[in-house]
Amino acid sequence: MNLNFKTAVLLVFMTMSVQGLVIAQQRTAKSYDEPFRPQLHFSPKAHWMNDPNGMVYFNHTYHLFFQYYPGATVWGPMHWGHAISKDLVHWQELPIALYPDSLGYIFSGSAVVDSNNTSGFGKNGKIPLVAIFTHHDPKGERAGTDNFQNESIAYSLNEGRTWTKYSGNPVLKNPGIRDFRDPKVMWYAKGKKWVMTLATKDRITFYSSPDLKSWTKESEFGNEIGAHGGVWECPDLFQLKLKGRSYWVLIVNLNPGGPNGGSATQYFVGQFDGKQFTPVDNSVKWLDYGPDEYAGVTWGNTGARKIFLGWMGNWNYATQVPTVMWRSAMTIPRELKLIDDKGNLLVASSPVKEIGKLSRVTFTRSNIEVRNRYVIKGLPQKLAAQYKVDLQVGSVKDAAIELTNSNNEKLIVGFNKKTDQYFIDRTNAGIHDFNKDFAGIFTAPRLSEKRSLKLTLVVDRASVELFADDGATVMTCIFFSNKPLNKLAILPASTIDVKSLTITELNSIW
Ligand code: FRU
């Protein structure tokens, strides 16, 4: 190459500044300390992330794969990113697990531990992890066909570090349904077969297989029941027990059409006989009423304990939120329990107990009568940006917690007795001009009949998760305050009896 001096100097300079930029970015990425970087929640070091995928517990490790585009901080050709954790709290991001190929992008799906080697992928006694995902063919989509989403599989014999795609892909061909995706597969022990729960436009279709390679249609569910304000996506099917009785829970994510607009997670409680799902009632139930939990499903292979994780985003504005290095995070992992509140079967969620590991300092107040705005004194000036609040009020009355900062940015989380609703108000919680739907007040019904109010908030730099009445009503809400919201106050409408208030500072997971 024949370069003149000026070009050479320019090139050297450009290379140096690009390197400098990369190094600077790597430094900030390493510290996980950029503006709005979650300190309790998993987020990728860099670039775009959406749905959690392939969640499976294997050899004492929780695997989390996720929809990932390494080329930008907006959605693009989908890969499966990969992270692992021993405790559901601390995460290590690993290299990309699955790359797009000639059959298309790698859309959402699940992973199973094929302990009996039904697939035949196991070798030398090594148990295969098998991923079941949607191949989304962008060419077919552009050409206006209706069969561009098909289900495929891949296997790994080294704990998900490298994957081999099956030569017979796709294993389940699209019969001509534009939205035909997000397979969640589980072992149905009673029938000794795999069951796939697949989102097929406005309903769920169940398939079964002896070997993960050949699939037979079993039944359909839901085109006339549940919420239908948008497309059904990312389903899940699993068992939960209540007082010794077994039920099946069917999760169906929906976009748009959520209770506060955009994306949300609904569920049904019922029975499943290996072929068909039958709900116990016709009511629409939401696992999370907030604007920012989506595509949530549970980990496989965790026994009777069911742990749920969602994407903390909403398709209404996910690609516009003001982070620079990366976009979006996951929720706190949540343990799901079936509860019976006066005949109403509900799935309640609570943050997994493992986050207790992060507890630093705890501030407790008990038995106080609060008449007016009550600023919680005695907290450190520099309260960590991540903490947990537990509030119990002796009676069911208007009560709210205000989280604020020295910029007077504030987020209010509370209960409104007249409407019998919980609410989160992020109108003045920070940056919101990137999308007109972002600022606002979001509401959720109180589902519990209990005679005292119990609120748990998990607060991070850019999110709050409300678990009310032991998780009967849950709301997830992100925000972008310019400083941490580290000043707290209680806002009553009339005198309320605060039985207990605990604020627990939490360590960063990074
Ligand atoms: C849900 C979803 C899935 C799809 C994936 C693509 O957020 O639309 O249905 O598989 O995202 O990234």
Measure 315 CA to ligand 1 centroid, in angstroms: 10
Helix, strand, or coil (residue 12): helix
Mean pLDDT of residues grouped by 10 in the chain (510 residues)? 39 41 46 95 98 98 98 98 98 98 98 98 97 98 98 98 98 98 98 98 98 98 98 98 97 98 98 98 96 98 98 98 98 98 93 97 93 91 92 97 97 98 98 97 96 98 98 98 96 95 96
How many angstroms is it from 108 CA to the middle of ligand 1?
A: 6
* pLDDT in the model for residue 1: 33
Predicted local distance difference test score (pLDDT) of residue 72: 98
Q: How many residues in the chain?
A: 510
What separation in Å is there between the alpha carbon of 82 and the centre of ligand 1? 16
What was the pLDDT predicted at 10? 40
Indicate if 340 belongs to the active site: no
429 Cβ contact partners less than 8 Å away, ≥ 6 residues apart: 409, 410, 411, 479, 480, 481, 485
Closest ligand 1 atom, CA of 109? 10
What is the Å distance from ligand 1's center to 95 Cα?
21
pLDDT score of 30: 54
Ramachandran quadrant class, 172 (left: phi over 0; alpha: psi -120 to 50; beta: rest): beta
> How many beta carbons lie within 10 A of that of residue 327, not counting itself?
24
SS3 state of residue 28: helix
Q: What is the pLDDT of residue 342?
A: 84
Closest ligand 1 atom, residue 311 Cα: 7
C-alpha 161/C-alpha 296 separation (Å) is 24
pTM of the model: 0.94
- Residues with CB under 6 Å of ligand 1 are 50-51, 67, 78, 107-108, 134, 181-182, 233-234, 295
- The whole-angstrom separation of Cα 256 and Cα 355 is 31
**Rounded distance, CA 49 to CA 76, Å?**
10
The ligand 1 atom at the shortest distance from the C-alpha of residue 253 is 1
Distances (CA, A) of 242 to 247, 279, 329, 341, 345: 8, 16, 32, 12, 9
Q: Pocket of ligand 1, candidates 65, 98, 107: which has the most ligand atoms within 8 Å of its Cβ, to mutate?
A: 107
49: Cβ contacts below 8 Å, ≥ 6 apart: 43, 66, 67, 68, 81, 311, 326, 327, 328, 329
Ligand 1 center–CA 224 separation, angstroms: 23
From the list 307, 312, 321, the residue with the least C-alpha distance to 293 is 312
Atom of ligand 1 nearest to the CA of 231: 9
Q: Which of 33, 51, 137, 281 is catalytic?
A: 51
Task: Measure the CA–CA gap between 42 and 48, rounded to whole angstroms.
Answer: 13
What's the pLDDT score for residue 16? Answer: 42
Closest protein CA for atom 6 of ligand 1: 107
Q: Which of 431, 208, 194, 478 is nearest to 332 (CA)?
A: 478
DSSP state string for 216-239: EEEEEE-TTSS--SSEEEEEEEEE
Token pair recorded at residue 356: 């207790």
